A = this chain, B = another copy of it.
Amino acid sequence: MGNSSGKIFRLTTFGESHGVAIGGVIDGCPAGMKIDFERIQQQLDRRKSGQSKISTQRKESDKVEFLSGFFEGKTTGTPIGFIIKNEDAKSKDYSHIKDTFRPSHADFTYQKKYGIRDYRGGGRSSARETANWVVAGSIAQQILSTKGVEIKAYVSAVGSVKLNKCYKEMDLSNIDGNIVRCPDSEYTEKMIFEIVKVKKEGDTIGGEITVIASGVPSGWGEPIFDKLHADIGKAMLSINAVHGFRYGFGGVDISSSRGSDVNDIIIDKSGKTKTNYSGGIQGGISNGNDIYAEMFFKPVATIMQKQNSIDTEGNKKEVEGKGRHDACVVPRAVSIVESMMALTLVNHYLISKTNRL
């Protein structure tokens, strides 16, 4: 269970890292939407491996093939089936994983849960799965665009290189102007330098991504248990390596602040607030201001250094990363974050249509 996301616009995915293909089904996509297939591929390309010197060299073209759900370029309201073939799945040598549990990987937990696992390339637990999300998320983004909603994510920290600027002080059209996907040119250099250094040492490093959704009208989000920020949080925490989530503009540390400092004063009938410490959401419902959230990523668990572990029999064993891995995932995760935001928002948009007669 657990391979579906969304109540109305519902994505169900499948696929292992080194199987024939990964893919999914989108059910509940509204009919009559003209889709720009190139935009989907562009979002996939922002996520794919082998883009630059700072990403893994696994070569996957990540071409999505749609099998259903469109007619003459438009959605028909029927489910959209799609697959992405695994092309560079080198299934040769997995002896080092087959019988060993790598530290901070899902090898041990899948084995314990299911009693069996496809260990090749991490199987189902591989971040390759996120390509499926980008396909669906990109379609969701296109639907939201017709409602005036735009979503932008960018890298706001690599290790201890933390961007201390509000998104309003920067030109977000610069995000894709560099390989690390940070809109500030000064920090960009530092971040790239950090990743290159860490990579050279056979190590990995964590980071942060910030996401903004502008143009969201007030009224999206379903209290009590499907609050908008709770659903965004869950979506983001689904991303491999995300271990923390915060919403609301965080120029200050809100949990150590006072009410008189961080209450957002409403200044006009549209609900516009003077400040936006609430990140565009009150009581779990959007209030018309920019949605703002931050995601915290762990360092990639696979490092090119020797580590102790155990084998499946419980014997001590040394493991060392092999193959093709990222030293820092956040540059490639930007379109994944946008996709998860889009999937969450499109669902709340559709549900909100049922709130009144």
Q: Which residue of chain B has the shortest Cβ distance to A312 in the bound complex? A: B269
Could you tell me if B160 and A256 are in contact, using CB atoms closer than 8 angstroms? Answer: yes
In the bound complex, CA of A80 to CA of B171 (Å): 44
A278 at interface (Cβ–Cβ under 8 A)?
yes
A266 at interface (Cβ–Cβ under 8 A)?
yes
The proximity string for A residues 270-299 relative to B, scoring 1 for CB distances below 8 Å and 0 otherwise, is 010100011101111111100000001111
> What is the oligomeric copy number?
4
A110 at interface (Cβ–Cβ under 8 A)?
yes
In the bound complex, CA of A257 to CA of B206 (Å): 6
A179 at interface (Cβ–Cβ under 8 A)?
no
Q: Which residue of chain B has the shortest Cβ distance to A297 in the bound complex? A: B255
Could you tell me if A68 and B20 are in contact, using CB atoms closer than 8 angstroms? Answer: yes
In the bound complex, CA of A79 to CA of B284 (Å): 16
> Could you tell me which residues of chain A, from 152 to 170, have a CB within 8 Å of some CB in chain B?
157, 159-160, 162
Could you tell me if A19 and B68 are in contact, using CB atoms closer than 8 angstroms? Answer: yes
Binding site for B on A (CB under 8 A): 1-5, 7-8, 10, 12-16, 19-25, 27-28, 30-33, 65-69, 71, 74, 76-81, 83, 101, 103-106, 108-110, 112-118, 123-125, 129, 143, 146, 157, 159-160, 162, 198, 203-208, 218-219, 221-227, 229-231, 233-235, 237-238, 243-248, 254-269, 271, 273, 277-279, 281-288, 296-303, 305, 307-310, 313-314, 350-357
